Amino acid sequence: MKVKILYVIDGMEFGGGERVFTQIINGLPLDQYELFLASGPKESLYQAISQTPVQRYPIDFSNRFNPTILFHLVKIIKDHRIDIVHSQGARTDFYARIAGRISRVQHNVCTIAMPVEGFDVSSIRKRIYRTIDCLTEKYVEKFITVSDFLNKMLIEKRGIPAAKVVRIYNGVELHRYHPDAGRGKLKKELGIPEDVPLIGAVGRMVWQKGFEFLIKAAPAILQAFPGARFMIVGDGPLRGKLGALSEELRVKDNVIFVGFRSDIKDVLSAIDLLVVPSLLEGFPMVTLEAMAMAKPIIATKIDGITEQITDGENGILVPPKDHNALSKAILRLIQDKELSKKLGMSARKKVEQEFSVEKMVAETEKVYLSLLGTN
């Protein structure tokens, strides 16, 4: 008899959590599992699993406190006799945990990819989320974290027993990433000459990502390389403020806001280096993608990222909120082509060894099997 797993995620945008769930769904052996997905009806999410038979249940999770959501989840669990409910995200964890409790599901699994402190919400809402977590954590049989930093936080700060927590790193589909494939495509689209340095950053425009410090680093870089371009990929509530900052610093002609793009591989192929100026992260996927593309990376020395990047070996780490250190590191890599190539190749090697999607799926399946008593 097949193991029945229900995945629950809000799906309001196709972010890292949605990406990981689609990787798991696409990677599990279908002769052993029957899979179900309850999420917002995001087309990009559905497309990512279009080749895998999975029963989809579109649920609008935008309303944080909607009893109808709970009713739908309980019905899905009971109708299909779900064995494991696996959720991710503050919006969905509460409903998945309570629905699992009401319907007496055998096993409840929860992935933690970002601490509540990093949510892009008000302090009052953060306290509400934290309170909800405290009330419902006892219904979770196994927590999966994406970094050792989060593992430690759950155990030491939240008091969750170590036996209930397992760290599984995110992974990327290495066969889809080919260094320098289609390099000139996006540059041509944006009208940037091939020999002009293009520095990239990718992510939602929220305070956690620290994009303001990349813009503040731009003037010093432009003094040495007047034609350099800075491409910020993504969208979010700080778009207007970041645009205003680029005008204030008189670098707006060199900073390109391209909005959300689904062709991240083409973006990474076009750039000369990736900058990750984040202030808070769980375990960013874009870093792994850039590593798979053998791109040199400059990132902030913060928890999560330091589990991906070793300073001087497969990237360069700088202090957070330090635009001077950031500009110096960027100039160093623009000027030293050999170092950039060396760091990029080392990054590709590390992602091959430690961060493959196959390894992530296999370790997740081990969690399922251990809960079911078959491993």
pLDDT tens for 171-189 read 999 988 888 666 777 888 8
Evaluate the CA torsion angle 176, 182, 183, 187 in order and state its sign: negative
d(CA 80, CA 6) in angstroms, rounded, equals: 9
Burial class (CB in 10 A: 0-12, 13-18, 19+), 300: buried
Rounded-to-integer distance, Cα 224 and Cα 36, Å: 54
* Mean pLDDT (whole number) for 115-130: 67
6 in helix, strand or coil? Answer: strand
Q: Is the dihedral of CA 202, 205, 209, 215 positive or negative?
A: positive
Residue 240 is encoded by which pair of tokens? 């207007």
Residue ranges of domains in the chain: 3-171+356-372, 174-354
Which superfamily does 174-354 belong to?
Glycogen Phosphorylase B; (3.40.50.2000)
What is the per-residue pLDDT for 319? Answer: 98
CA distances from 289 to 37, 120, 186, 187, 334 (A): 25, 23, 17, 19, 20
Assign 374 a pLDDT band (cuts: 50, 70, 90): confident
pLDDT bin (cut points 50, 70, 90) of residue 22 is very high
- What architecture (CATH level 2) is domain 3-171+356-372? 3-Layer(aba) Sandwich (3.40)
Residue 126 confidence (pLDDT) above 80: no
pLDDT at 124: 72
Q: What is the pLDDT of residue 187?
A: 85
Mean pLDDT for the chain overall: 91
pTM of the model: 0.86
pLDDT band at 135 (very low <50, low <70, confident <90, very high): confident
Q: Range with the lowest mean pLDDT among 6-10, 52-56, 182-186, 299-303?
A: 182-186
CA distance 315 to 296: 6
Same fold, 3-171+356-372 and 174-354: yes
Q: Please compute the mean of the pLDDT values over residues 317-322 and round it to a whole number.
A: 98
Instruction: Give residue 17's pLDDT band: very low, low, confident or very high (50, 70, 90).
Output: confident
32/127: higher pLDDT: 32
Please answer whether residues 3 and 372 qualify as being in contact, where contact means their C-beta atoms are separated by less than 8 angstroms: yes
